[in-house]
Chains A and B, each alone.
Chain A
Amino acid sequence: MSTSSPAGFSRRRLLAGATGLALLAAGCTSGGQDDAAAETAAQDDRVAGQVPVQESVVAAYDAAAVADPALGGRVAPLAEQARSQLERLREAVPDATSSASSPAAAPPPGADVLGWLRGQVAAAATSHATACVDAAGARAALLGSVAAGLRGHEAALA
């Protein structure tokens, strides 16, 4: 186990440099307190960065309901789940401020509203999954779970 695990600071630094990741392991202490503090801050940023992504999903459900009220009624439970996902992400970064400047998403006139909504959800799922791989610990689990939840939405919207 000791030969194959990515243990050791220099190895991790090498990986971090190669991939552009600020950190790779959770709960590591070999780098000292400064690294641990920087790690926590970077992790918070990772989740904070996904809050606007999830806000755009909630906005997309709202916009779809305006454009196609019948569809809106059908996907109301999914919209509610998207809101609770957003709540959980916000709870994970207590200092996060709501980004009121998120571009208001709306389906283009004449568009297939369901297809547009599915595309918005799929893009957010991919974004959360990418952030999950770069995160660690409970934050990785939360981001991965939200990503998977939106993959399920994407399937349900097909």
Chain B
Amino acid sequence: MADERSAAGREDDALRATLAAEHAAVWGYGVVGAALPPEGRAPAGAGEQAHRDARDRLAALLDERDADPVPAEAGYTLPFPVLSAVDAAALAVVLEEGVSASWAALLDAAGRSAVRLLAVDALGAAEVRAVAWRVAAGRSPVTVALPGLAGT
């Protein structure tokens, strides 16, 4: 049973790490939206809502398991100054790639197929948003081979 408990603990830890990443993404999308012109904010609003939904799903999952969720940080540090629409898109790419790494780690740690289903859907959705932001940021190529995995 010790192995079972540690496997469940590993999944809980990965759920918490993903929740922390989603908290950061929700916060970061506020910065993304603020740096975009009003007529260009719709994708930021949609992204923020998607991360709020993911955050709430993760918190509910942890709650169901009597595992403590992690709260949002009081403050976050931007990786670079966000002064233009291109900066905003580049930040959104960072946010989506950040949550993607967490979702992929959760796939690795998950013991339950229901958790993997949530994670694989979230990973795909994050990459689809990342593609749009890489286009907006002028990146090339706009896709990556292995979202969420190191060394891609």
Contact = CB atoms under 8 A, between A and B. Distances in A.
Interface of A: 1-8, 19, 21, 24-30, 77-78, 81-82, 84-85, 88, 125, 129, 132-138, 140-149, 151-156
Contact of B120 (A1, A77, A133, A156): A133
Interface of B: 1, 3-5, 7-9, 12, 64-67, 100, 103-105, 107-108, 110-113, 116-117, 119-121, 123-128, 130-132, 140-149, 152
Given A28-B3, A29-B3, A3 B66 contact: yes
Contact of A7 (B4, B126, B131, B146): B4
A127 B149 CA distance: 19
Interface of B is mostly: helix
Contact of B146 (A1, A3, A145): A145
Nearest to A130: B120
A133 B119 CA distance: 9
A59 B110 CA distance: 32
A53 to B, nearest CB: 15
A140 B110 contact: yes
Contacts of A19: 113
B104 A144 contact: yes
B4 A148 contact: no
